[in-house]
Structure 1
Amino acid sequence: MRKMTTIDNEKELTVVLATNNITRVSSVLSVGLRNNAGTRGLIQLIGRTAARDYNPAPEQIGMHLQLTILRLGGARLAEIAHRALVGKPTPSEIESNIDACLDAVPDVDDESPRIVHQILMLDEIATERRARYDDRTNMVVGVCRQHGYKLPLELKTEASLNLLCDGVRKGKAHLAGEATVAALGLLTTNPREYSVRPILFSADCKSESAPEHVVNILRPLVTAIKKKSKRKNTTFRLLCAASDGEMRREKAFIMEYMKRPLAPESPIYSHLSGLERMTADKDAKHALKCLRNLLMHDSGVEVRGFCITVPIIKEHLLDNGVPLRTDRQHVMTAFSLMRTIWTLPDAPAGSSLLYVWAREALQIFGKLAYSLVMPYISVDMDLDEQLTNLSAAVHLLLDLYVHNNARTRFMPTQTFLNLMIMIKNVYFCVTKTKVDIPEGKFWLILLGTDRLEVFFGLIRTAVGTDSNVDLLQLASRGSGLCEVAAILALHPEWDSVGETGVTLDSKTDHINPASWKGNTDVNRVTPLTSWIQGRHRIENFLPQTRAVFEKMLRDPRVDIFAPFGTSLVEKYDEEDIDEAYSCCQWADEFEALPPQTRPPLSTKLPEDAPPEPSYSGDNDLEDAMGVEEPRGGFDSHIEINGTQLSKAKALRLAMAGLTGPRASTY
C-alpha cells in the first residue's frame, strides 16, 4: 500500500506539472528539494505557485538565459558609452571604455596583490556605409576617422547638415565600409574574465598608412591601457597585441613592436637568450588558413625540391578515399585538409618513383602542418609539448625555406614571417608568465583574435536581417553582447561550438581553457629545453636537416627572421611615425610629444567616387527610440526649411539624396 501510495503521489505530481502553466518550474522544485520536501510537499508548493501565492527567487542560470535572449534581441539597455565613434580616438576616450569594461570584471576577495595578463586584439568588421545620428553626443557617426575632422559632424542646424552631405559627395570624407575594433582579452581560466572586452570602435575608409595607423590607433590604445593597468590590488599587464593578416596593420605592428632586439636587462632575457633572435602576435587560425591556401595555389608549393600541385594532392587524397574540399576561408576545412595530409601513410609498394617522391613531400608538409595545428586543438597536450611542436615547426619552416634556395617557391615571405611572429610571440608570452606569475598557467588558445571573432558573430546575430552592422549599432549593441559572451563561456552547452573534443569537428573551432585537459603550469616549462627538443625532433624526422641547422647556428647573422643572414622584416624609419604626429588630434596627451612646428602630414584621399549609401529605409526602430528617449539631453529635432524633423530622419533623408537631388530639398 505504501508503494502504491508513492506511485499515486508521483503520478499526481506529473499531472500537476503538466496541467499548470508555471514559469521557472525548476526553481520551484529546487526550493522544495532543498527544504527536504517529499512528493506531497512538492505538489502543494506547485499549487501555491500556480495560485500566485508563492514566487521563487530567480536562479542565476535563469537570469543568465533571460539576459542572453535580451541582448541578442538587441535591447538598448546598460550599454557602455563607447567613445571614439567620431574622428580619431584619444587615450582619454579609450580610458573611459577600459574603466567601463573593468567594472564588469568580478572582484577578487583575496586582498593580496596579483598580476593578470591581457592581450590587445584588433580586427576590422564590415559595416553599412550609413551615417547615423547619435543622440548621446549630438554627433553624426559613420564618417571615416581619417577625414571626418574636415566636416561638421555635430548636428545643430540645416547648414551643418548640408555641409556634411556636400563633403561626403565631393569625397572630402567617406562613409566607412568597415570599422576597426579593439578589445582586451584576459588570460585567465575564469569564463567571466576571459570573454572579450571591446574598448574601441572607429570608422575606417582604408586610406590610412602604416605610420598613421600607429599614431591614430596603436599608440593611443597602448597609452590608455598602461594608464589603466592598476585596479585595486590587481595589475593588468599587457602581454602582446594580436591581429589578423591585414597588410597595413602588419606593417604598423613591425614598426611599433619589432624595433630592437631583446635587451639583456629585460627580466625575460635569461629565459630566452639561448634561442635564436626572435611583441606582436598573429592570429593562429588566419595563419593556418594561409598554410592551407598555400597548397591550393596554382603554382604549387616546393618541398625539398619537389613541387606539390593541386592535381597531385587530389590524386593522393583520392587514393586514400578522401575528397579535396576547396573552401579557402572555412577554418574546419583547413584543419581537415591538414589532418588528412599528416596522416597519409607511406606510398604502397610498387609505386613509381615520382609517386613515392610526391608522397614523401606531402608527408614533410604534413609534419609541418601537424606541428602548427595540434598545439591549438589537441586538448590533452601539455604546455611543454605545445612549445616543442611549435619549435619543430620553426625549424622545419627554416629548412624548407632555405633548401635549394626555395624562398617564395616554398611560401610567400609574408606568410613565412607571420608564422614566425606567431610562434615567437608564444615563447615570449610563456616566458613573461613565468616571470610575472611563477605559479600561474598559460593557455595558448587564448592568444590571437578568436574571442573577437566570436564577438563579431554575436554582433551579426543581434543585428538580425541587416547584411552588416552600422557604427551606431556596433557601439550600442556591443556592451550587452559582452555579457552574452561571458554567459556563453559559463554555459557552453547553449552554444553549438561551446563544447570541445579531441577530434577535429565543428566544435574544435572555439576551444576554451575550461575544456583544456593538458597541464598548462608554466613552472613545469623551460622554453630553451622545448626549443632544442623541437629542433632534435625535426633532425630525427629528416636527418639531412642536421647539417643545415648546425650551419645556421654558427652564423650570428642568421635567425628566424633572417634565414639567409639578411632580415626579411622590412625596416621602417621612426621619422615616418614622428611625421604622422603632426596631424594627431590627441598629441598633447602623449608624454613623448614631437615638436608641434612640423608641417602637417598631407593625407591622400582615395580616387574613387564616394559610395552610394546602402540603406534607404524610412522607419528605423532605433531612430524612433532615439527621438522618444534622447539620452544626451540634446534637442532631438532640427528645423529644415521651416519644418521640424527629427535629426535621425533628417540625416537619413539627406544621405539618401546624395546621388539624387540636393540634400536640402526634402
Structure 2
Amino acid sequence: MAYVLGGRKLLYALSHGYGLPSLRTLRRYTAFTRIMPTIGTISISDILHNIEEVVFKPRTSAGKTKLRGVNLMIDETALEQRAVHFRHNNQVGGICWRHAPAVNLLLNTYESALKLSDDIKKGTAHLANELTVVAASCFGEGGTYPILALPSCKGLNADDSQKIYETVTEAWDKSGAADKVGPIWSWSTDGAMPRRIAGYRCFLSQKLSPTSPIYATLASMAGLNLYTGCNQITLDFDYKHIFKRICTLLRSTQGIVLNNGRVINPAMLARYLIRLPQHSPESVQKMLYPHDPQDVPRAIELLEAVVAVGELDYGNMDANTCGDVDALRLLGSVIKAILEPFTNVHMSLTEQITSLSTFAHLSFTLFRVSRTQYMSNQLYGDSQTMVKNAIFCLAKQQVLDPNEPFYIFQVGDDPLERLFGKLRMLGGHNTAMSYAQAIDRLGDASDLQGAFMRNPDLDQSERRLNMSRSEGVDHLSMGSFTGNLIAGSCHLPERMGRRSR
C-alpha cells in the first residue's frame, strides 16, 4: 500500500524508519497482480488470465465466496499515443487492437522494427489514443475488477463493440466465473453510439422464456420490455450520464417542450430559478452555463433546483405564469422520479422502484405526445432501458437470495469511472500515460483493492457524507443508505402496476 499510494521514496523511508520490507524484498517474495495486455486482436486466453488473477485470487484471499450478480462495464479513458515494447513476448503494444492484425508486431529483427514504424506512418495501423476497459463489479459488495484492457482509437464501430461484448461474455462463462463469482446480469455503458447499437443487437435479441425463474414476476408488468440477450443479460446505461444528458437538454436553446407547448430552456429557467431563496443571479448563471457541463454534482444541483422550483408556492398568477408553472411542476415530477432513487439515502427499495416506475410511465406519456421535442430518441431509449435493467436485476436478486439487500446505485458504470480516477491518482494525477503504464497502474489498483478487501477496517468510509451538498451524491457507498433495501421486501408487480393504472 505504501509503494502504490506513496511511491518508492515513501516505501524507502518507511523501510529504513520502521523496518518495513524494501521494494526489492517485496518483488522477491510478493506476487504483484499483472494485467495481461492485449497485443493484436482480442484473445479469450488473455481475458481468462485476467479473470484468474484479478477476480478469483483476490476474492479467495478475502474470503468472499457468496454468489453475486455481476455487472460488466465498458468505458474508455485517454491514452498517450506511444508504441511500447513488452518483453514477455517481444511484441509491440499500444497499437489499436482493431487495426493491429494488419501489421507484424513481433520484433524479430531490426528490419521488422523499421517496417512497423513505416506502417504506422502510412496509416496501415494506428497508435491508440484511448484505453478501453471492461471491468466486473458484484451487486451487494464493493470492488471493481478490470478483466480486459484494449488499446483503441476513435474509429471503432458497432461491430467492434459487439465483438467485445460477445468475447468477454464467452470468456466469463468459459472461466467458470459464473459458478465461482456469479452470473452476468447486465452490461453497462455510457451511451456511446457504437456501443448502444451493439448493445441492442446483443441484449435485445430474444424474449424472456416462460420457463425463466423471473418470468412470472416480470410478465405481469404492463409495458415492460421482456427482450434480453443470452442468459437473460440486459443492457444498461449509466444513470449519471443520463442526468448529465438531461441537463444538457435543459441548457440548450431548444430545451424541453411539454404537452402544453411550453419550452423549458435557459431563458425560461433563469426567470424562475432566481425565486429559490438559496440562489442568486450569479449561482443561477453558473448552473445554467457551467464551466464543465460534464460535472455530475453541478448537473444534480440543476436538477434539484428544477424540482424545487416546481414545488414553490406562487400564489396568485396571471395566465402566462400559470402555464409556465404547470410545465415546471410536470417536469419537476419527472426529474424527481428518476433522481431521488439514486440520491435520497432514506428511501426504501419499494419507494425507489415505485419512483422509477413513475418516471417510466410519465416519460412514456410525454414522449408519446411531444416526441423528440420532449427529448431525443436516444435519451428516451437509454433512460427507459436503465429503468428496465434495474427491475430485471432486482428480480434476479430475489431469485438468487431475497434476504440480501439490493442497491439501486450499483447499476451503471460508475465503478469504472472511479477506477479511472485511481489510475490518474497513481500517476501523480498525470492523465498522460502510455499503454504499458496503464497496464501497470491497473495491476497496482487491483493490488490496492485486494489489500482493502482483506482489511476493510483500513478503507476510509463515506458513511458521514453531507447529503445536503450535491458533491455528496457523487460518492455514495452501501453504508450511505438507511432505508429498507432487502430485495424480498419489494413486490415488483404491485410497484409497477400501481403507477400504470
Instruction: State the TM-score, normalized to the length of structure 1.
Output: 0.66
Distance in structure 2 (CA, Å) of the matches to 1:451 and 1:114: 20
1:492 Cα deviation from its structure 2 partner: 8.4
- Residue in structure 2 matched with residue 104 of structure 1 by the alignment: 58
- Residue in structure 2 matched with residue 372 of structure 1 by the alignment: 338
- Residues 468 and 109 (structure 1 numbering): CA distance in 2 closer, same or farther, change over 3 Å? closer
- Residue in structure 1 matched with residue 33 of structure 2 by the alignment: 80
Distance in structure 2 (CA, Å) of the matches to 1:332 and 1:149: 42
Contact 2:78 2:431 in 1 (8 A): no
1:401 Cα deviation from its structure 2 partner: 0.7
SS in 1 for 2:52: helix
1:402 Cα deviation from its structure 2 partner: 1.4
Post-superposition CA distance 1:472-521 (Å, at most 9, x none) = 111111111124346678468748x7753432332220211122212111
Whichever residue aligns with residue 434 of structure 1, its letter is: Q
Distance in structure 2 (CA, Å) of the matches to 1:441 and 1:72: 43
- Residue in structure 2 matched with residue 267 of structure 1 by the alignment: 213
- Residues 407 and 70 (structure 1 numbering): CA distance in 2 closer, same or farther, change over 3 Å? same
Distance in structure 2 (CA, Å) of the matches to 1:431 and 1:386: 14
SS in 2 for 1:453: helix
- Residues 142 and 107 (structure 1 numbering): CA distance in 2 closer, same or farther, change over 3 Å? closer
Post-superposition CA distance 1:341-369 (Å, at most 9, x none) = 11123452343321221122112111111
Counterpart check, 1:306 vs 2:270: no
Contact 2:105 2:116 in 1 (8 A): yes
Post-superposition CA distance 1:130-186 (Å, at most 9, x none) = 111122322111110011111121223211111111101111010011011000101
Whichever residue aligns with residue 188 of structure 1, its letter is: G
Distance in structure 2 (CA, Å) of the matches to 1:212 and 1:522: 36
1:382 Cα deviation from its structure 2 partner: 1.1
- Residue in structure 2 matched with residue 208 of structure 1 by the alignment: 156
1:307 Cα deviation from its structure 2 partner: 1.2
1:373 Cα deviation from its structure 2 partner: 1.1
- Residue in structure 2 matched with residue 196 of structure 1 by the alignment: 144
- Residues 196 and 235 (structure 1 numbering): CA distance in 2 closer, same or farther, change over 3 Å? closer
- Residues 147 and 437 (structure 1 numbering): CA distance in 2 closer, same or farther, change over 3 Å? same
Contact 1:72 1:458 in 2 (8 A): no
- Residue in structure 1 matched with residue 165 of structure 2 by the alignment: 218
SS in 2 for 1:116: coil
Post-superposition CA distance 1:519-570 (Å, at most 9, x none) = 111111111111123346xxxxxxxxxxxxxxxxxxxxxxxxxxxxxxxxxx
SS in 2 for 1:105: helix
- Residue in structure 2 matched with residue 416 of structure 1 by the alignment: 380
The one of 21, 45, 48 equivalent to 1:95 is 48
- Residues 72 and 99 (structure 1 numbering): CA distance in 2 closer, same or farther, change over 3 Å? farther
- Residues 251 and 411 (structure 1 numbering): CA distance in 2 closer, same or farther, change over 3 Å? same
- Residues 230 and 148 (structure 1 numbering): CA distance in 2 closer, same or farther, change over 3 Å? closer
Contact 2:58 2:450 in 1 (8 A): no
1:209 Cα deviation from its structure 2 partner: 2.2
SS in 2 for 1:381: coil
Contact 1:72 1:461 in 2 (8 A): no
- Residues 73 and 420 (structure 1 numbering): CA distance in 2 closer, same or farther, change over 3 Å? farther
1:72 Cα deviation from its structure 2 partner: 12
- Residues 391 and 164 (structure 1 numbering): CA distance in 2 closer, same or farther, change over 3 Å? same
1:208 Cα deviation from its structure 2 partner: 2.5
Counterpart check, 1:69 vs 2:25: no
- Residues 412 and 346 (structure 1 numbering): CA distance in 2 closer, same or farther, change over 3 Å? same
Whichever residue aligns with residue 341 of structure 1, its letter is: V
Equivalent runs, 1:542-581 vs 2, <5 Å: none
Equivalent runs, 1:250-289 vs 2, <5 Å: 250-275=196-221, 276-278=223-225, 279-289=234-244
Higher relative helix content: 2
Contact 1:389 1:534 in 2 (8 A): no
Equivalent runs, 1:397-416 vs 2, <5 Å: 397-403=363-369, 406-416=370-380
Provide structure 2 residue ranges, at least 5 long, that are not aligned to the other structure: 12-22, 226-233
Distance in structure 2 (CA, Å) of the matches to 1:230 and 1:176: 30
Whichever residue aligns with residue 185 of structure 2, its letter is: L
Worse overlay, 463-472 or 360-369: 463-472
Please say which structure displays the higher CA radius of gyration.
Answer: 1
The one of 368, 389, 397 equivalent to 1:425 is 389
Contact 1:347 1:359 in 2 (8 A): no
Contact 1:72 1:462 in 2 (8 A): no
Whichever residue aligns with residue 306 of structure 1, its letter is: R
- Residue in structure 2 matched with residue 395 of structure 1 by the alignment: 361
- Residue in structure 2 matched with residue 246 of structure 1 by the alignment: 192
- Residue in structure 1 matched with residue 400 of structure 2 by the alignment: 436
Contact 2:96 2:128 in 1 (8 A): yes
Distance in structure 1 (CA, Å) of the matches to 2:444 and 2:187: 24
Distance in structure 1 (CA, Å) of the matches to 2:7 and 2:499: 49
1:274 Cα deviation from its structure 2 partner: 1.1
Contact 2:62 2:450 in 1 (8 A): no
Whichever residue aligns with residue 365 of structure 1, its letter is: L
1:292 Cα deviation from its structure 2 partner: 1.2
Distance in structure 1 (CA, Å) of the matches to 2:256 and 2:339: 19
Contact 2:38 2:46 in 1 (8 A): no
Whichever residue aligns with residue 283 of structure 1, its letter is: D
Distance in structure 1 (CA, Å) of the matches to 2:457 and 2:329: 40
Name the Cα RMSD after superposition.
Answer: 2.5
1:376 Cα deviation from its structure 2 partner: 0.8
- Residues 70 and 197 (structure 1 numbering): CA distance in 2 closer, same or farther, change over 3 Å? farther
Whichever residue aligns with residue 103 of structure 1, its letter is: K
- Residue in structure 2 matched with residue 171 of structure 1 by the alignment: 123
Distance in structure 1 (CA, Å) of the matches to 2:436 and 2:102: 20
Post-superposition CA distance 1:574-603 (Å, at most 9, x none) = xxxxxxxxxxxxxxxxxxxxxxxxxxxxxx
- Residue in structure 2 matched with residue 237 of structure 1 by the alignment: 183
- Residue in structure 2 matched with residue 515 of structure 1 by the alignment: 480
Contact 2:33 2:447 in 1 (8 A): no
1:236 Cα deviation from its structure 2 partner: 1.7
- Residue in structure 1 matched with residue 18 of structure 2 by the alignment: none
Percent identical? 25
Distance in structure 1 (CA, Å) of the matches to 2:42 and 2:9: 27
Whichever residue aligns with residue 148 of structure 2, its letter is: L
Worse overlay, 100-109 or 413-422: 100-109
Distance in structure 2 (CA, Å) of the matches to 1:65 and 1:519: 38
Post-superposition CA distance 1:368-409 (Å, at most 9, x none) = 111111111111111111100000000110111112xx1000
Distance in structure 1 (CA, Å) of the matches to 2:497 and 2:194: 34
Contact 2:4 2:426 in 1 (8 A): no
Contact 1:283 1:448 in 2 (8 A): yes
The one of 231, 247, 252 equivalent to 1:292 is 247
Counterpart check, 1:473 vs 2:420: no
Distance in structure 1 (CA, Å) of the matches to 2:63 and 2:33: 25
Aligned residues: 462
The one of 408, 413, 432 equivalent to 1:449 is 413
Distance in structure 2 (CA, Å) of the matches to 1:71 and 1:460: 17
- Residue in structure 2 matched with residue 320 of structure 1 by the alignment: 276
- Residues 391 and 205 (structure 1 numbering): CA distance in 2 closer, same or farther, change over 3 Å? same
